[in-house]
Structure 1
């Protein structure tokens, strides 16, 4: 295979010896005219080959940026109002992923991210970029917040600590970070009008910026930039939300000129009922095989990652390998599988810090929770609104269906307190305890909703309840997050951790995309009268059937 078919890349640390032939690929099969522009080479895995199935993770990790450092892959995603932000996943085979950390330790972008005098719902960490600089062995994260300014964070290890630096005085919308062969940092960014900025050697100020491409009206909107240098050419990978992916190529340098090609448009995706794979990143393996990690709209669960192989044309354009004219549900594995820490399972909150699986709804009040052989939540907010309650701790839901169970010790609740387990989104419900007049009841609450401006429109209605004795209870939610309308969550409880009893009607999940983030399990405790009460979560389990 010619060198043009065996490109090497520079983005973070993406250096390859090359080799882009997919093992086991059959002869080319052309896409139908309706899918013109979605260049394809069919893949027919044999039974003897190791394969993977899409989605590679059935959890909500959107606006993907993916890089390789040596033989390890890192994956960054959007988190909006959840804190810490910008999670980083780690893999050695592009298929099996584990949590490594977060690039943004706290959303210190204003009081609204503390649920203090405002709220940051559907703001915060949008499409951002993760890079690695070989010259100093440092990871870089860059992202714009609130369309107001761009922030830079660095760390020597993805586990942290991450340091926030002086903000850039420019707004790089959907920035894609590139460290060039001479170590010069650049970002590609913009919506429809795509620009490139050269940064100072420390990446903290702008040296030069120039618009390099204007999207044709026939295409519409392009955004979500990812910036690469591959085989001497510069590429800006762009999404047409939410059904297309395009790429710009320059042979003359980072400032262009650029020409455009379509990689895919209206391509059938690998998740039944889900959307078109788009807005992700390109990455190569140490052996030189290339892959595209995208996300698929799969509400009510969110946006989940799908992987597919990439080859290159003789004139340096990427081609997506399809299966029967679609993004394959299965492909040959890029690399031998390597074990990782599971994204599901049991957490008993050992040690003194939360695992990176967890993210708070907005920034927590750090003085009102503790981790030490269990999680203690002391009420942090006096409110009757779940959406205004601080220290609600969230976990992504594992698809297509999964069950969350918490063991809750509630003897420390005060009069007026509410605590339990929620299905959390802009239409929410929960099962939990309410302490009033010296007695405790187990209740189911439905109809907690937000309006289109993400203000609370309804604080909910009790739809079922029963009395409880003792100071310990197990609460459970079983969630069906397969894409499509009418999916439901069912709530139950146990007094012994073994036999569970349903409480209240099934809750129908909202599957519109506008909130962006998918449903999460939420563990909460808030006061409606006065602070002072607490609960202890002794155990959390996320299990699949």
Structure 2
């Protein structure tokens, strides 16, 4: 009897099972680097690293602060879809702030340090930029348009720029007008490439949750452009498969990274095989012989023959060597807003609380995973009457559980909910404890995008206070698991101390 043939390890999609929106990626040597949108969250522009396209680690953030006007949360603003490229020994990330223009940060090492952002092109509604260095020495920038700011959409523009990406060298022009393409709506997210004698523009269309991936091909940047839809939902469960990056491996195989909008959990990242047809167009995902529109695969042999491992970078944090890079604030905050202290996170409870967590910059979060899991931590509170601290699940609607200081100097154990249209939080008090009591919190996230929060403290058995809470999508982002501390307007600041933050996953997703 012959031994069984050795099987190539397979991966499961999504390869990043949490909110990593609008991914773009490149390969440099044997390393892959991926960047995503970060919107209002600070620090911005996460940079992830992989050696095999299926296991990703969060390397750094290229943007330590979002920038002017982001001292308070501006949900839906900030850093939209970026592009990462490597040219002449330098990494560049070009990103849009749709309310200001297009900006660039650069580094010789993707782990940083990255340069201060520099303005490349000013203007309202300029989005989704991607630079391109042509073989003839010219450099170009392709970008899309946001109708909410500019009144224009479904159009891709091309601008000549200098090779160092510091300034435009002439006026822009329309590269592709989606209105002239039958059935094309919301054409955006362009990535410009050259393959042999062909110019290729990979560009999604049709909208975030319902769209598809298109590719345009021409022998000249002046066109004419042939068009094809190369990836769509088809008969599969992955809705809106589009916006991402074509990458190759050192061995010459081709792949496509894209997102799927899951609603409350945000935009997760899938990896698809890519092959080239004899007509010069790619076929992405699963496609029968003769079919040109692929459908996303759910599992596939790994590009480098490696095991997949965890699909969730970050997560747990013991706060012993600082605060992990997986955490992001809701806006730019002072450097002293948080510190680690002997295995605890100490948050400064800034006196800016008007009763709505969505207005607070000092809410420290990370994405709610698509996978079922549990988070555990503990919290204690110090501060004036009305100071509060706890663990939240933050979206357009939110819930939280934790402690609130009373006028008598002790603490109330509370939970609260707030819907988008609520005037005030709906608060429930579950008990009173002496000031300084450490409250233990467990947040369970179900595969059905609901959460249950369980509390306990010395002398009190664990009990659920928020059961089956639906996770709520944010503004262009997924929901976040968050820690916060705050004090009322005009009061003295408070302080909260959080114990180690542990994430518990099923063994197959650990």
Residues 1:477 and 2:443 aligned together? yes
Once the two structures are superposed, residues 371-391 of structure 1 have per-residue CA deviations (whole angstroms, 9 ceiling, x without a partner) of: 343321111232222112221
Offset of residue 338 of structure 1: 7.1
The answer (yes or no) to whether the contact 1:212–1:258 under 8 Å persists in 2 is no
Residues 1:385 and 2:356 aligned together? yes
Offset of residue 169 of structure 1: 3.3
Residues 1:521 and 2:489 aligned together? no
Counterpart selection for 1:351 from 321, 337, 340: 321
The answer (yes or no) to whether the contact 2:379–2:402 under 8 Å persists in 1 is no
Instruction: Count how many residue pairs are aligned between Structure 1 and Structure 2.
Output: 475
Counterpart selection for 2:115 from 160, 163, 178: 163
State the SS of the aligned residue for 2:358.
helix
Q: Which residue number corresponds to residue 144 of structure 1?
A: 96
The answer (yes or no) to whether the contact 2:232–2:295 under 8 Å persists in 1 is no
Q: Structure 1 length normalisation: TM-score?
A: 0.82
State the SS of the aligned residue for 2:118.
coil
Q: Which residue number corresponds to residue 67 of structure 1?
A: 26
**1:219-234 matches, cutoff 5 A:** 219-234=184-199
State the SS of the aligned residue for 1:394.
strand
Offset of residue 47 of structure 1: 8.0
Offset of residue 132 of structure 1: 1.3
Offset of residue 284 of structure 1: 0.5
Once the two structures are superposed, residues 263-321 of structure 1 have per-residue CA deviations (whole angstroms, 9 ceiling, x without a partner) of: 13343445xxx523111111111111111111111121111011110000123110113
Q: CA 1:312–1:339 in structure 2 vs 1: closer, same or farther (change >3 Å)?
A: closer
Once the two structures are superposed, residues 443-500 of structure 1 have per-residue CA deviations (whole angstroms, 9 ceiling, x without a partner) of: 1101x2335xxxxx53311135222345222212112254xxxx42111123369963
The answer (yes or no) to whether the contact 2:455–2:465 under 8 Å persists in 1 is yes
Counterpart selection for 2:234 from 264, 267, 287: 267
Q: Structure 2 length normalisation: TM-score?
A: 0.87
Q: Which residue number corresponds to residue 286 of structure 2?
A: 322
State the SS of the aligned residue for 1:347.
coil
Counterpart selection for 2:329 from 360, 368, 375: 360
The answer (yes or no) to whether the contact 2:52–2:303 under 8 Å persists in 1 is yes
The answer (yes or no) to whether the contact 2:351–2:494 under 8 Å persists in 1 is no
Q: CA 1:515–1:368 in structure 2 vs 1: closer, same or farther (change >3 Å)?
A: closer
Offset of residue 222 of structure 1: 0.7
Q: Which residue number corresponds to residue 202 of structure 1?
A: 164
Counterpart selection for 1:175 from 107, 118, 129: 129
Once the two structures are superposed, residues 223-278 of structure 1 have per-residue CA deviations (whole angstroms, 9 ceiling, x without a partner) of: 011121222422111111232110111212x44332211113343445xxx52311
Counterpart selection for 1:237 from 181, 187, 202: 202
Q: Which residue number corresponds to residue 289 of structure 1?
A: 253
State the SS of the aligned residue for 1:86.
strand
Offset of residue 217 of structure 1: 4.8
5+ long unaligned stretches in structure 2: 145-152, 289-293
**1:45-194 matches, cutoff 5 A:** 48-110=7-69, 113-115=70-72, 119-133=73-87, 135=88, 137-171=89-123, 172-181=126-135, 184-190=138-144, 191-194=153-156
Tell me how far apart the structure 1 counterparts of residues 295 and 98 of structure 2 sit (CA, whole Å).
36
The answer (yes or no) to whether the contact 1:96–1:337 under 8 Å persists in 2 is no
**1:380-529 matches, cutoff 5 A:** 380-383=350-353, 384-410=355-381, 412-437=382-407, 438-446=409-417, 448-450=418-420, 457-469=422-434, 471-480=437-446, 482=448, 487-495=449-457, 500-510=462-472, 515-528=475-488
Tell me how far apart the structure 2 counterparts of residues 471 and 182 of structure 1 sit (CA, whole Å).
68
State the SS of the aligned residue for 2:240.
coil
Offset of residue 339 of structure 1: 8.3
Q: CA 1:533–1:221 in structure 2 vs 1: closer, same or farther (change >3 Å)?
A: closer
Q: Which residue number corresponds to residue 150 of structure 2?
A: none
5+ long unaligned stretches in structure 1: 1-45, 452-456
Tell me how far apart the structure 1 counterparts of residues 386 and 460 of structure 2 sit (CA, whole Å).
29
Moved more, 376-385 or 365-374: 365-374
Tell me how far apart the structure 1 counterparts of residues 328 and 66 of structure 2 sit (CA, whole Å).
11
State the SS of the aligned residue for 2:283.
strand
